[in-house]
Amino acid sequence: MFLSVFDVFKIGIGPSSSHTMGPMSAANRFLDLILSSDWPRPSGAHVAAVRMSLHGSLAYTGVGHGSDRAVILGLMGERPDSVDPDRMDAIIEEVERTGRITPPGHPGYAFQPKTDLIFDKKNPLPGHANGMTFSAYDRDDRLLLKRIYYSVGGGFVVTDTELEQMRASKARSSDKKVPFPFASAKQMLEMAERSGMTIAQMKRANEEATMSREELNAGLDRIWEAMKSCIDRGLKNEGIMPGGLKVRRRARSIHDKLQEEWRSNKANPLLANDWLSVYAMAVNEENAAGGRVVTSPTNGAAGVVPATIRYYLHFHEDADQDGIRDYLLTAAAVGGIIKHNASISGAEVGCQGEVGSASAMAAAGLAAVMGGSPEQVENAAEIALEHHLGMTCDPIAGLVQVPCIERNALGAVKAVTAASLAIKGDGTHFVPLDACIETMRQTGVDMNEKYKETSTGGLAVNVVEC
């Protein structure tokens, strides 16, 4: 089993990897399909119009997550990792004004967002809670092409056929030949014992089977630079976040107070927790505002990993760039195991799959750079994930703001605590990480749908919107 570190950590835009980046990527795939020969195109037929519908969780919370905007941008040829956040409004306004999408390399197609983009809450698609249907028509309104896509978490998008194949074979990731193809934490530890290598070293060897060391290091540095830039923007920006809840950004004001304490040398027994929290909140406030973020492993949980890396740089004297790379490789190894055996999608298993997974990844990465053995790293991940089990996903108004922003801060705090506990032990522990991951999967299956990113239960219905 191999899932690249660059699949786990993807540069994109907020507010949601599954509800924003996923629909945009699905639109990209449908455009590519239109131009291809991979469908039975009738002789002389030409696509003249495109329509699409959002289903399940995407229908219920798509407006709050910007799914409709993401689809329009994707149909205009914009991609999550390269779209300019400052141009998005203008692109959407153009489509709404002209009633046409004009992606590069295409002749242009009719598309009226108000009538051709449907939020279908009555007809969920069978494969996954985040379903989408794209259809193409000729000038006589005859259906030429139809595809169903699912956004399965972390920005990953698959067709209905691909989803069936994944579930049938359990091959949820690439079948690339790598030297350490661990699909579980047990296999990972066995391979580490046999090889005498750390988890980061094994993950690096897997990545370098398909790229050079220089390419890998440059990619890892690019990921951290994007995370760092997101923290810095979040610590500078202030004001009200979009969406109607009138939630005010707090990271800048908290950061200013912490800076004052730092300069005055005031005793603060909660100092590390405070810095962790403000770093995580800075990222998720940027995400809620639709800014540039890195899936870690999702947008809704994007603050946990960057916050703990920044904490590592802030409080550990021996922290360096190589340590950051080892952190990311270790975290990606754990994230890949979780995704392969359970889920990182809030719409599938609740927030335990998002912030819980992020906290486990962060704990593993931090334990690794603190000198932990593979057994201690696995223990750290298990502790962090275990204490997120059962966490629901119930965002108020479908916005990734409440409780999501603070939830990332607490996920980061739990990650550091888990890493510290694991490092102080010898790696021996009662609950294996694999058992914890399977428990998360089973809990997600049993969880009521209203607690899985539909905003029809929990805080979303018990807190009056302002």
At 119, the pLDDT band (50, 70, 90 cuts) reads very high
pLDDT digits (tens, 9 = 90+) for 89-99: 999 999 999 99
If residue 151 lies in a helix (H) or strand (E), which one and from where to where? strand 143-153
Q: Please, which residues have CB within 8 angstroms of residue 233's CB and are 6 or more apart in sequence?
A: 282, 286, 291, 292
Q: For 416-450, how does the pLDDT look when each residue is reduced to its tens digit (9 = 90+)?
A: 999 999 999 999 999 999 999 999 999 999 999 99
Confidence check: pLDDT of 86 > 90: no
- Answer yes or no: is pLDDT of 236 > 50: yes
Question: Which residues touch 126 (CB under 8 Å, ≥6 apart)?
Answer: none
Q: Say how far residue 153 (Cα) sits from the centre of its chain.
A: 6
- Helix ranges (H only) for 170-303 are 185-195, 199-207, 213-236, 251-264, 271-288
pLDDT (average), residues 69-79 = 97
pLDDT of the residue at 1? 78
pLDDT score of 407: 98
* Residue 435: Cβ within 10 Å count: 14
Exposure of 258 by Cβ count < 10 A (0-12 exposed, 13-18 middle, 19+ buried)? middle
321: tokens are 């760039």
What domains can be seen in the chain, in order of their start residue? Answer: 17-39+47-169 (3.30.1330.90), 185-462 (1.10.4100)
**pLDDT for res 265:** 77
Q: Output the DSSP codes for 113-141.
A: HHHHEEEESS---SS-SEEEEEEEE-TT-
Q: Which of 323, 326, 391, 380 is nearest to 353 (CA)?
A: 391
Q: Is the pLDDT of residue 280 over 70?
A: yes
Tokens of 71: 């689809």
Distance CA 20, CA 280 (A): 20
Among 13, 130, 28, residue whose Cα is nearest residue 75: 28
* Mean pLDDT (whole number) for 213-231: 98
Residue 150: strand pairing partners: 131, 158
DSSP state, 21?
I
Distances (CA, A) of 4 to 69, 154, 164, 329, 378: 28, 13, 22, 9, 19
d(CA 303, CA 306): 6
The mean per-residue pLDDT over the stretch 346-360 comes to 97
Task: Show the tokens assigned to 54.
Answer: 């959002």
Q: What local confidence, expressed as pLDDT, does residue 267 receive?
A: 74
pTM of the model: 0.90
| Residue 278: partners with Cβ closer than 8 Å, 6 or more residues away | 235, 251, 254, 255, 258, 409
391-418: pLDDT as tens digits: 999 999 999 999 999 999 999 999 999 9
Is the model more confident about 216 or about 1? 216
Q: What is the pLDDT of residue 117?
A: 98
Where does the pLDDT of residue 175 fall: very low under 50, low under 70, confident under 90, or very high at 90 and above?
Answer: low
- How much is the average pLDDT of 327-344? 97
Asked if the peptide bond before residue 403 counts as cis, ω within 30 degrees of 0, the response is yes
Q: What is the pLDDT confidence band of residue 368, given thresholds at 50, 70 and 90?
A: very high
Mean pLDDT of all residues in 300-311: 97
Distances (CA, A) of 179 to 176, 192, 205, 210: 10, 12, 7, 11
Residue 172: pLDDT band with limits 50, 70, 90: very low
User: Given this model, what pLDDT does residue 168 score?
Assistant: 78
Handedness of CA 366, 358, 218, 315 (dihedral sign): negative
The mean per-residue pLDDT over the stretch 143-151 comes to 97
Structure-token match 């259809």, residue found? 135
pLDDT range class, residue 170, cuts 50, 70, 90? low
- Choose the weakest-confidence range: 164-168, 275-279, 374-378, 452-456: 164-168
pLDDT at 271: 86
Q: Is the pLDDT of residue 8 over 50?
A: yes
